[in-house]
Structure 1
Amino acid sequence: MKVEIFVPCFVDQLYPDTAFSTIRVLEKAGCEVNYNPNQTCCGQPAFNAGFWDDAKAIGSKFLNDFGDDDIIVTPSASCTGMVRNYYNDLFTNTTAHNKCRSIQGNIYELSDFLVNILQFDSFGAELEGRAVYHDSCAGLRECKIKDEPRRLLSKVYGLEMVELPHNETCCGFGGTFAVKFDAISSAMAQQKVENALAVEADYIISTDASCLLHLQGYIDKNNLPIKTIHIADVLANGWGNV
């Protein structure tokens, strides 16, 4: 299957290795992956901050960067949720209406695409340790993803998965929320990390790099014995650099 990869601006600037891991994973699952270097952002930061005109301009570029029939895969439930759900607020009953609907039906978060479309869940990945999976708000509520990441992670050799207490509670990032309400945001990160430490996890894994950045910031500040890692990097581990 031919797929277009969308690399979110967040991943492009801060976690480029996760983008490469995504490509490796898709290729191992049998996909021919294409990357359009003109792509930038889906418009979510501007949208969440209330700058809808800017978000529409950025979203228009996103729509133009992909074809109506392209299958788009991205290592971000947050960006997937933005396009699938909130582009309705920007493009319904506009000249881009029909193209928007086509792209909304063709964009997938990585784990959703692997499990539900390709029906491919075993990569021969290896990661020694004990881990929890963090359900991002976007993944759980906007993309309805819950079992898919857990199914993929259950096939990783050496990795023991345990359930994270109060897992459906937000980590506290929330985009600009973390800036506007930093004290509340930090307290929520503390709770999430302490819950992971309580079950003796070595790793916190998620579909969203933004959540992981937020949690890793708290971990680094307090010098805690736990790490965050994106699910794409887990699935590419042990063979992805060969």
Structure 2
Amino acid sequence: MRVYFFGTCIGSMVFSNTCVNAIKLLQREGAEVIFKKDQTCCGQPSYNSGYYEESKKVALYNMELFKGSEPIIIPSGSCTGMMKVDYIELFEGTEHEEQARKFSNRIYELSEFLDKVLQVKYNDLGEKTKVTWHSNCHALRVAKCIDSAKNLIRSLKNVELIELEREEECCGFGGTFSIKEPEISNAMVSQKIKDIQSRNVEYMLSADAGCLLNISGAMQKQGVNVQTMHLYDFIAQRIGIRG
């Protein structure tokens, strides 16, 4: 199987090791992974800020760059939601609507692809541990891939998933929201951290790099002793993939 891999902006700039681990998880299942060196942003920041014409240019670029029939795998619910759902809305009623719909059908968040398409089975090599999970907003409400992420966690025999009391509440990142409304964002992430602390876990996992940056940065400032880790780094570590 040949697949395209879309690394995302934050993945390329900050979470490069996570991208490598995500690719290795695909290769472990026999996939040939194609990484287009000219890939760029999915267009979500401009789209969420109301710059629709500018976002269309980015979307058309991506649809041309990743043309073909291969699945397009993304290690982020945010970018998945944008490219799978929001592209259709962006081009609705235009000459590019059908192109966007066909493109959308090829988009998968990595957990969804591993869980539903490849139906992976993992041998957990790690010690017993307790984790909790943060659902990023776009993965939860737009891409709707959270169940697959939790299925992967629960498949690890030595990992106990303890869910947050207020899991569906935003962490306050929201891309440009955290820049435009820093005080509100800080209040939101502080509430999220209280929920995480109340679970008495070793790790807080998420499959969204933006949320992880926001939560881990606030935790560090507040002196909270809970490790944050990207889902695909955690899985890679548990099954013996070395970065």
Which residue does 1:76 correspond to in 2?
Answer: 76
Q: Secondary structure at the match of 2:27?
A: helix
Change (3 A) 1:97 1:230: same
Which residue of structure 1 lines up, in the alignment, with residue 40 of structure 2? 40
Decide which moves more: 71-80 or 150-159.
Answer: 150-159
Q: Between Structure 1 and Structure 2, how many residues are aligned?
A: 242
Partner of 1:177 in structure 2?
177
For structure 1, which runs of at least 5 residues remain unmatched after alignment? none
SS in structure 2 of the partner of residue 99 of structure 1? helix
State the match for 1:120 in structure 2: 120
Letter in 2 for 1:231: L
TM-score, with structure 1 as normaliser: 0.94
* C-alpha contact (below 8 Å) 1:212/1:228 kept by paired residues: yes
CA distance in 2, matches of 1:96, 1:128: 50
1:224 is matched with 224
* Paired residues for 1:6-155 under 5 Å: 6-122=6-122, 124=124, 126=126, 129-155=129-155
- Cα distance change of structure 1 residues 15 and 5 upon mapping to structure 2, 3 Å threshold: same
CA contact (8 A) 1:190 1:218 kept: yes
| Counterpart residue type for residue 169 of structure 2 | T
**Structure 2 CA distance, aligned partners of 1:211 and 1:204?**
11
TM-score scaled by length of structure 2: 0.93
2:228 is aligned with what amino acid?
T
Structure 2 vs 1, CA of residues 220 and 128 (structure 1 numbering), >3 Å: closer, same or farther?
A: farther
Task: Tell me how far 1:193 sits from its aligned partner.
Answer: 1.2
Q: Quote the offset at 1:89 in angstroms.
A: 3.2
Report the Cα distance in structure 1 between the residues aligned to 2:167 and 2:132, rounded to whole angstroms: 9
Report the CA distance between 1:148 and its aligned residue: 1.2
Taking the aligned partners of 1:192 and 1:240, their CA distance within structure 2 comes to 30
Which residue number in structure 2 is paired with residue 241 of structure 1? 242
Contact 1:75 1:110 in 2 (8 A): yes
Q: Is the 8 A contact 2:124 2:156 kept in 1?
A: yes
Q: Deviations over 1:98-119 (max 9, x none)?
A: 3221110010001111111111
Contact in 2 for aligned 1:123/1:235 (Cα 8 Å): no
Does structure 1 residue 199 correspond to structure 2 residue 219?
Answer: no
Q: Displacement of 1:128 after TM fit?
A: 5.2
Give the conservation status (yes or no) of the 8 Å contact 2:137–2:170: yes
Q: Tell me the distance in 1 between the aligned counterparts of 2:55 and 2:127.
A: 39
Instruction: Give the superposition deviation at 1:123.
Output: 5.2
RMSD, matched Cα? 1.7
C-alpha distance after superposition, 1:161-187 (max 9, x if no partner): 211111111111111111111111111
Q: Which range moves more in the overlay, 185-194 or 142-151?
A: 142-151
In 2, Cα distance between equivalents of 1:101 and 1:202: 41
Equivalent position amino acid for 1:132 in 2: T
Q: Which residue of 2 aligns with 1:215?
A: 215
Secondary structure in 2 matching 1:237: helix
**Which range is displaced more, 145-154 or 21-30?**
145-154
